[in-house]
Each structure stands twice: as C-alpha cells, then as structure tokens.
Amino acid sequence: MITINEKRVLDRINALGKVGIDAEGRRIRLAADDGDKAGRDLVAGWMKDAGLRVVVDYIGNIFGIWETAENKKEQPVMVGSHIDTVINAGQFDGCYGVLTGLEVIQSLKEAGCKTTRPLVVGAFTNEEGVRYSPDMMGSLVYAGGLSAEKALAIVGVDGTVLGEELKRIGYAGTVEPGFIKPCAFIELHIEQGPILEAEGYQIGAVENLQGISWQQITIEGEQNHAGTTPISYRIDAGLAAAKVITFMRDRCLKSNGKTLSTTGCIEFKPNAINVIPSKAVFTVDVRNPNEEALQAEEKALAEYLKELEKTDKVKITTKRLSRFKPVLFDEGIVKLVEKYAAKNHLSCRRITSGAGQDAQNLALMCPTAMIFIPSINGISHNPKEFCKDTDMLAGAKVFMEAVSELAEVK
Ligand code: GLV
Ligand code: MN
Ligand code: MN
C-alpha cells in the first residue's frame, strides 16, 4: 500500500491556515473574497505542482484531475471538500479534506501507480454560506440542485453579487458544473463535534447527515422612547425576536437532543441604547436528522410567528435562505471506511454529520460517504478548532486505502 507524504500534507494544512488573516488576527476566507482568492491561488498552485490538470467550472469550483491515456474513459473517483471559511475560523474545516485529497492523488502519482479510474480532487465554492446563501452552494450547483445562472446572481450579505466577485478574483470558470460524473465520492473531514474524542474513537464512518433549515426573519415594531413608553404601550421588535429565540430553544430541549436551533445573526434598527427597536432582522438555523421532525419544527416556528403577530402586534416576514433534507450515505462506502479502519487497528464508530457538507450534494450524483477524525474538545467554527497530527494522519491512511480500492489501484 502506498503511503502519503505526511510532512507535505501537514505543512500544506498549516500554510493554508495562514492565508486570509485580517487586521484583527481573524482567519476569514469568505466565498470569493480576497482571502478566498489567496487560498485558491495557493491550492490551485499545489494541484499544478502535482502535475494535475486544473479546471474551474462556472460556479468557481476548482478541480485537480489526474487521468492517464489508459484510464481516461472510465468514470473517475472524486474526493474533496472546501477551503472557504466562516468568520474567525479554524484552519481544518474543509481544508483537511481538500489537502489530504490532493495528497492521496499526488502520492499515488509519484509512486508510479496505475489506477483503473481517474482521480479528481475538488475544492467547492462557498460551502460555508456565510457571505452567500445557500451554503454548500458550489457542490449543490455541481450536482444539479441549483442552476449556475441563479447561483451566480445571488446577492450576498454585503450587497455583492457572487458571479461578479468570482470574476473579480479570477475564478469565474468556463466549464459546465457536473462536467465530471464521478462513480464515487468520498470526503475526509474533521468531526467538528465532541463525540469521537469523548468516546475514544479515532475514526468516524459517517453514515448520514442531518437536515438543515435556514431562514431570515424580519420583525417590524414601532420605534419609541425607552424612558417614556410604558411596557404595555410598546411594539418591541427586539423583544419579539428574543421570544422567537427562546421558543426555539424550548423546542430543542423538548426534542431529546435531536433538534438544534441557532440564531447566529441579529440586527436591530435603529440599534440605539435608549430606543425601542423598530426592526429586528435575524437568522434561524434549525437542524434535525429526521425530515418529518424537521418539518414539524418549521411548522411550529411558523405558527409561533403568527401568534406573535397577534400577541405582540408586530409584523413578521420570513425569507428562506437554505433547505437541505437529511442524507443517507452509501452503505458500501461506509463499510469500506470501517474495513480500512479495522485493518489499521483504528477504533471506529458510525456517526451522523451534524454539519452540512459538500458530500451531501455529491450524494445526489453518485455513491458517497465521509470519514471523520476527532475534533479536540469538539470545537469548530472557532480559531480554537484543533486536530492532532496523529489523528489527521490516521484519517488520511484510511482515506488513502478506501480511495485506492475505489479507484482500483493496480
Ligand atoms: C457548515 O459548516 C454548516 O453550517 O454545517
Ligand atoms: Mn466543512
Ligand atoms: Mn464549516
């Protein structure tokens, strides 16, 4: 079995982690911003150095392709993830999957291996969805779940248009998304949660992924004086927003840990200490591994908003930002992950992905699964996100062996 160049992949993860640091020391590479461009240039350069053919599609997904005259008629095996980040991010989320994917291909190529199937590593645009909704956008477009035309016209939270930003940074590609139809997709990723570490497992064989519902809620009340307006006279958009947050929190507590709800963005108008807010605009991210249960949460929230309009005299509108159903990954690839974890004497358990992933969209195209490694203290979407080198290399070993079997290394 071919082994990867461990130093090279760890050095690359650390080097990419240094890209996109702002004046406050925060790591920020939002889709198609300057930090993302710098990250893309670095990774695309490494793909070229490895001798891969680099192709960028309309939505800015970058692919490094390794095919030979003998195997180029076969359906490729695809690996990959994303290199865009949240605000003040860690350095492993997504990047670990792209760079180990590149490493697996480069190591096989350098060892002079022949494979029945070509190998492709993808870095998908806008997985995080912080600047442009929906999240997992590049892979969604790639798999045909959203047209490139519509996605490129999406306006971001900063008023920019994705298509114009991709052009500006030089990543508006010329190839139709979906141009390669893989026979299988496998994504190596950090868990981003506490389970593997807490239970002492080295590998997670990811068998499914929970559903995700994103909405933006706008509540309109009446701007008034904080000192002179008795409580019973107020139409307080801020208070109504707080009630929505606690309503969803209560739903989570009643769901036996299945439902998760987060309000990560909130803005009041006029946002002044002594003024009752006339407007609250905030997001609600709701997740549940079961589609019916997720729909029930969405329905409960919609009914509660109607009730609030009556009780609090506010006006409420909602905007759908993103909606993904739960996904079941391919049993055959999950078993392959378990097989190679066992072969390498690595403890492994099946696990659900709580995070959205590019793999969930590739699952629309081909048999797909994921491999997780432990996230120390379960911290992610935070600069304290950390994974041990030994765990990263163990995950990469299982990844290499699973990919080698799928691509039929001779
Ligand atoms: C992706 O990072 C997500 O929000 O799950
Ligand atoms: Mn990720
Ligand atoms: Mn993420």
Nearby residues of 188 by Cβ (< 8 Å), 6 or more positions away: 79, 81, 96, 97, 100, 101, 370, 371, 373, 395, 396, 399
Nearby residues of 20 by Cβ (< 8 Å), 6 or more positions away: 27, 28, 29, 33, 34, 35, 36, 38, 39, 85
> Please, what is the angle between helix 34-49 and helix 6-17, to 10°?
160
Please give the number of the atom of ligand 1 that sits closest to the Cα of 380.
Answer: 2
Cβ neighbours of 226 (radius 10 Å): 11
Q: Does an H or E element contain 22, and which? A: none
* Best CA proximity match to 403, nearest among 74, 136, 104: 104
Where do we find the tokens 């002594």?
A: 274
Report CA(136)–ligand 1 centroid distance (Å): 8
Whose alpha carbon is nearest atom 1 of ligand 1?
A: 356
The helix/strand/coil state of 404 is helix
Closest ligand by atom to 356 CA: 1
Closest ligand by atom to 96 CA: 2
The model's pTM: 0.95
Q: Tens-digit pLDDT profile for the chain (410 aa)? A: 789 999 999 999 999 999 999 999 999 999 999 999 999 999 999 999 999 999 999 999 999 999 999 999 999 999 999 999 999 999 999 999 999 999 999 999 999 999 999 999 999 999 999 999 999 999 999 999 999 999 999 999 999 999 999 999 999 999 999 999 999 999 999 999 999 999 999 999 999 999 999 999 999 999 999 999 999 999 999 999 999 999 999 999 999 999 999 999 999 999 999 999 999 999 999 999 999 999 999 999 999 999 999 999 999 999 999 999 999 999 999 999 999 999 999 999 999 999 999 999 999 999 999 999 999 999 999 999 999 999 999 999 999 999 999 999 99
Report CA(134)–ligand 3 centroid distance (Å): 13
Max Cα distance, the chain (Å): 81
Closest ligand by atom to 212 CA: 1
Burial category of 350 from C-beta neighbours within 10 Å (exposed 0-12, middle 13-18, buried 19 and up): middle
Report CA(11)–ligand 1 centroid distance (Å): 25
Between CA 80 and CA 130 the distance in angstroms is: 20
Residues in the chain: 410
pLDDT at 1: 79
Please give the number of the atom of ligand 1 that sits closest to the Cα of 285.
Answer: 4
Report CA(100)–ligand 2 centroid distance (Å): 14
* Best CA proximity match to 81, nearest among 94, 91, 62, 66: 94
The two three-digit tokens of residue 367, written as one number: 């048999």
Please give the number of the atom of ligand 1 that sits closest to the Cα of 287.
Answer: 5
> Please, what is the angle between helix 389-407 and helix 6-17, to 10°?
110
Please give the number of the atom of ligand 1 that sits closest to the Cα of 136.
Answer: 1
Closest ligand by atom to 283 CA: 1
Please give the number of the atom of ligand 1 that sits closest to the Cα of 355.
Answer: 5
Between CA 135 and CA 347 the distance in angstroms is: 32
Report CA(76)–ligand 3 centroid distance (Å): 26
Nearby residues of 409 by Cβ (< 8 Å), 6 or more positions away: 2, 108, 113, 114, 115
Q: What is the DSSP string of 161-194?
A: BHHHHHHHTT---SB-TT-S--SEEEEEEE--SS
Nearby residues of 311 by Cβ (< 8 Å), 6 or more positions away: none
Between CA 145 and CA 359 the distance in angstroms is: 13
Q: 311-345 burial, b for 16+ CB within 10 Å, e for fewer?
A: ebebebeeeebbebebbebbeebbebbbbbbeeee
pLDDT at 158: 98
Q: Which residues line ligand 1 (CB under 6 A)?
A: 128, 135, 355-356
Between CA 317 and CA 7 the distance in angstroms is: 52
The helix/strand/coil state of 324 is strand
